[in-house]
A and B are shown apart, each in its own frame.
Chain A
Amino acid sequence: MDRRSFIKNSGLTGFLLTTGTFPLLADMEDPNITRLTILHTNDVHSRIEPFPMDGSKNEGLGGAAKRATLIKRIRKEQKNVLLLDAGDMFQGTPYFNFFGGEVEMKLMSQMGYDAATIGNHDFDGGMDGLERQLKHANFPILISNYNFDNTILNGKTQEYKIFNKDGIKIGVFGLGIELNGLVPPTLYKETQYLDPLTEAQKYASILKNDEKCDYIICLSHLGFKYGPTEEKISDIFLATNTQDIDLILGGHTHTFLKAPERLSNKLGKPVLINQVGWAGIVLGRLDIYFEKNKKDTCVTCKNLLVSSNS
């Protein structure tokens, strides 16, 4: 069996199992193939417990304790897991009104989140509130286009972080949405918003060229897509107008994508965007297969990564 068809088959087998995975023999068999499992959430909005059983559309869905079980199962099956959140962890249930985000941060820490970015609602408790809650987080907050120099958050966030999984260097950076007009200035205070396109390209280049990352992920709270009259930068715009980004994990627009959007970047190279709605109803998952080989040789590479949309 060649590698290509094996991967295809294992994917099919996985589909039939509870968590969609199987200890991949292919990964172990072939030392040149490494699998990275990326798990992600966005706009969880303090949905600590599942939606109440009140006859509404979402009743019984989500819940941190069930998500934790799923994450643990996947970690048992997969060696290389990255767990990320694209912002708006806060606001939406009384857990936030009463405890200010403490529960959200403690649970994400317990579940082993590797990083998160900041959404507009994460400012709802003000700068002091956010600063207080960061103490309960054992994972970094990644944000490259908010300048916090004149605020209480100065030095408490990072632009990016590099993760090393089985020799693969994965660079992750964060992007936030424009706060003016969306969040009262009394909440975000002296936070300066920087152009996400400029910052994205700057940090993607640093991760690619200086840090020599093999894979670059943008955690974005910009929103998936906007209408032609709205002058807002979306993930779609970001994907097609930058280079060096491999994957955008998005949020803000609460978009349930059935499958990741596949687009071509400025240089015609593939970029993926994924977003999983809101409230922790869905845990997003992407399994990336890396083949270690010479620069111009790749036996198992598939062309389907190149955009077939539009």
Chain B
Amino acid sequence: MKIFFLLFIFSFLSCTKIYHVADVQNRNHRIEKASFPVDVEVASIIEPYKLKLEETMNVVIGFNEVEMTKGKPQSSLTNWFADALLDETQKLVSDPIDFAVQNYGGIRVPVFAKGEITVNEIYELMPFDNLMFVLELKGETVQLLFDKMAESGGWPVSRNVYFEIAYGKAKNIKIKGFPLDLNKIYNAAIPDYVASGGDNAVFLTDSKSHNTGALIRDMLINNIKESHAKGLNIKADLSPRIIE
């Protein structure tokens, strides 16, 4: 008690000063093209890595006919992306694939430029090392998946799917032109990230799945290369898939 009292007196007498936050000023610096010169030390650290990358990355693998943009409920870029995954997955498995889905957040660029396509652009588009899985989905799980897609405003889906978004649910679902059969088993091409429950698709984890072993990014690269070999440019199929 005595000690406490002494401490109290001491702290009172010492008149301890503290740091008050008097003012805060904010200025965020935007780094524009011409705003600052490069720092030589940092540039020299980057240089050897950059050279190594460029050997692989600057290779032109094909041509894009029209600029493609990413959007919801569907868009040129998301349509093209999902169709390429459908076609490439079908090349790897013998059973017919009913549709392909890609999570919206997995596509990492808002715009895919017209003209020459380099390997680098595909890395920017799909930086993740995700693998393609084929899932055997019951009709009712397909309904859950499409509801999830509807709830988030639409995900990339291949040309053989059609549905309407009504109050955050998928309505009037058609797969390959036929209404969704809740008792049927559908073969769906879905990246491992989503198949393992990513993006809150936990309801997919109980379904039977097969790993194709192919990276999503490599599938896109192959798709473009093969079109190019046939003398074709890539171009989105704009047929209606998800309607709001």
Contact = CB atoms under 8 A, between A and B. Distances in A.
B111 to A, nearest CB: 5
A214 B18 contact: yes
Contacts of A70: 29, 31, 35-36
Given A68-B42, A110-B45, 13 more contacts: A14-B25, A63-B31, A64-B42, A65-B46, A69-B36, A92-B127, A111-B42, A185-B196, A214-B19, A293-B18, A295-B17, A301-B20, A305-B24
B41 interface: yes
B41 A68 contact: yes
Contacts of B52: 98
B226 interface: no
B53 A293 contact: no
A294 B45 CA distance: 48
Interface in A17-70: 19-20, 33-34, 46, 48-50, 52, 54-57, 59-70
A128 to B, nearest CB: 14
Most buried by A among B16, B45, B129: B45
Interface in A282-309: 282-295, 298, 300-302, 305
A133 interface: no
Interface in B13-35: 15-33, 35
A261 to B, nearest CB: 11
Interface string A220-241: 0000000000000000000000
A56 B111 contact: yes
B110 interface: yes
A177 interface: no
Contacts of B19: 34, 168, 214-215, 290-292
Interface stretch (A78-86, A142-150, A192-200, A273-281): A273-281
A65 B38 contact: yes
A184 B192 contact: yes
Contacts of B113: 54-56
Contacts of B124: 92-93
Interface of A: 7, 11, 14-15, 19-20, 33-34, 46, 48-50, 52, 54-57, 59-70, 72-73, 91-99, 103, 106-107, 110-111, 124, 168, 181-186, 214-215, 246, 257, 259-260, 270, 272, 274, 276, 280-295, 298, 300-302, 305
B111 A57 contact: yes
A57 B52 CA distance: 27
Given A66-B31, A66-B39, A286 B24 contact: yes
B45 to A, nearest CB: 6
B17 A293 contact: yes
A124 B111 CA distance: 24
A107 B29 contact: no
B19 to A, nearest CB: 4
B31 A246 contact: no
B123 A184 contact: no
Contacts of A96: 127
Interface stretch (B134-142, B181-189, B197-205, B232-240): B197-205
B106 to A, nearest CB: 12
B118 to A, nearest CB: 9
Interface residues of B, number: 55
Nearest to A14: B27
A260 B26 contact: yes
B24 A288 contact: yes
Contacts of A14: 25, 27
B200 A69 contact: no
B37 interface: yes
Q: Which of B17, B108, B192, B200 is the most central at the interface, judged by chain A CB atoms within 10 Å of its CB?
A: B17
B38 A292 contact: no
Interface string B99-125: 000000000111101000000110110
A20 B29 contact: yes
Contacts of B167: none
B29 A60 contact: no
A288 B126 CA distance: 40
A186 to B, nearest CB: 8
From B28, B31, B50, name the one whose CB has the most chain A CB atoms within 10 angstroms. B28
A116 B89 CA distance: 40
A114 B41 CA distance: 18
A285 B28 contact: yes
B128 interface: yes
B191 to A, nearest CB: 11
A241 B110 CA distance: 35
Closest A-B pairs by Cβ, 10 of them = A60-B33, A68-B39, A65-B38, A298-B20, A68-B42, A214-B19, A300-B22, A290-B19, A291-B22, A66-B36
A257 B46 CA distance: 29
B123 A285 contact: no
Contacts of B198: 181-184
B46 A64 contact: yes
